[in-house]
Amino acid sequence: MEKSDLLERGLELPLMEEFYTIQGEGYHSGKAAYFIRVGGCDVGCHWCDVKESWDASLHPLTKTDDIVEHVKKSVSRAVVVTGGEPSMYNLDYLTQELKKSGIETFIETSGAYPLTGDWNWICLSPKKTARPLPGIFSRANELKVIVHNRDDFKWGEKNAAQVGVSCKLYLQPEWSRRDEIMPQIIDYVMNNPKWNVSLQTHKYMGIP
């Protein structure tokens, strides 16, 4: 079977890294989870802190079965699939195999591509450089908006108007500008209490 066919079917994925850690952001912050980071992203956020993930060719195609086995050997009962942009790939097989072992599946995505996979939790983090497809909004459990400047509050509201009523809303400061942006987020959330504050707590803890 050709490599491209295996990738198309989700039987292989360009794996950048995998590790067991504490979820640092959003609704599941503080929970233990196994992270699967796939390579490949064309969204192009200028403030991305994992730019080494953008070029999928730098990351070896890895059998999805091997990735699942690595998860099963850990004590984790939850997996976060992130990137790069994980929705570039067919994730049906990955989530199917994880769920066979009773492992919860979470994804963090910009929503720029059609979503595959069976997910317990979908975190939508929309980016202006490649806006979310309309179909993702009704499926999102969590909307996480990264705030780099004041205009991002308006961007957040535009996206919040499209998600379901049960979707959790988060504003998170862009890490390099956190000292400047954090007071603005605090003030905004206090005046708009439908929003919550998200912090990259893993960076404060010094863990991946």
Residues 185-192: contacts with CB under 8 Å, at least 24 apart = 185/147, 188/153
Quote the CA–CA distance of 176 and 47 in Å, as a whole number: 8
CATH class label, 3-143+199-205: alpha beta
Instruction: Give residue 1's pLDDT band: very low, low, confident or very high (50, 70, 90).
Output: low
Q: What is residue 46's predicted lDDT score, i.e. its pLDDT?
A: 84
Contact 80, 34 (CB under 8 A): yes
pTM of the shown model: 0.96
Residue-level pLDDT at 3: 65
Q: Would you place residue 47 in the very low, low, confident or very high pLDDT band (cuts 50, 70, 90)?
A: confident
With a CB cutoff of 8 Å and minimum separation 6, the contacts of 183 are: none
